[in-house]
Amino acid sequence: MELRLDGKRAVITAGAAGIGRVTLQTMVAAGAKAVTCDVDQAAIDRLRGEIPTVPAIVADAAEPADIDRLFALANEQLGGLDILINNAGIAGPTAPIEEIAPDEWRRTIEVNLTSQYLCARRAVPLLRAAGGGSIVNLSSAAGRFGYPLRTPYAASKWAVVGLSKSLAIELGRDQIRVNAICPGMVEGERIDKVIRAKAEARGVPFEEMREAYLEKSSMRQSIPPQDVAHMILFLCSDAGRLVSGQVIGVDANVEYLR
């Protein structure tokens, strides 16, 4: 089965690197038109060189004014909206709760959760006008388990699940489907930083901690970002037209987090 998004219009946050970049490439290859943003100017510059047909701006997804600019760009360039991919997120601090500064806590919640609210409130009127559509929110395996030393991250990702399930009910009669994706140990620079920080906090070598992360999944595998992008593509395509309110793990079956 070939999954296509011909003529679909999409906004993807943090689309210049990691899962967002691979998802953007996958959706454009499937026929979608898209706009994106990222906080990293260098990443935006690289993306513009690789996919010059995708309008991209430097923006902080946790800032309301930046999201207003992003959706103004989407209206101007796309003339409407069919898909929202809430991908922006940060790892947050790795530390015991008493050592986490309030600013670190707030920033993690703002980027991982509040950004999704900011985008949804701008996207929903456009999706209604289009007769329906798809919202995919990025949560995490940490949205299903307790995660010691990563409390702001886990709290924000659990909240994304609640947001997604609530919006799926709220928007269902508008034919707007809402789902959450829970990636596991996605390969790339970001997870390496997370593992290194946890290794330092626990006082163990990086490779030992990496193996410990792999041990948490039944299949003992890390996740290529393309696998996450393929699930997002399915949910946004006609093949996923009746899938809503779901929390879907792309994680080789993570069993626990410690």
pLDDT tens by residue, 125-136: 999 999 999 999
Q: Which residues are catalytic?
A: 153
Closest CA to 114 of 156, 170, 154: 156
123 with 67: CB under 8 angstroms? no
Q: DSSP letter at 155?
A: H
- Quote the pTM value: 0.95
Q: DSSP letter at 5?
A: -
pLDDT tens by residue, 83-122: 999 999 999 999 999 999 999 999 999 999 999 999 999 9
12 vs 7: CA distance, rounded Å: 16
End-to-end Cα separation, the chain, in angstroms: 38
179 vs 195: CA distance, rounded Å: 27
| Domain architecture of the chain: domains with CATH | 9-186+224-250 (3.40.50.720)
pLDDT tens by residue, 11-32: 999 999 999 999 999 999 999 9
The rounded percent of the chain whose pLDDT value lies above 70 is 100
244 vs 135: CA distance, rounded Å: 9
Q: DSSP letter at 152?
A: H
pLDDT tens by residue, 192-238: 888 998 899 889 999 999 999 999 999 999 999 999 999 999 999 99
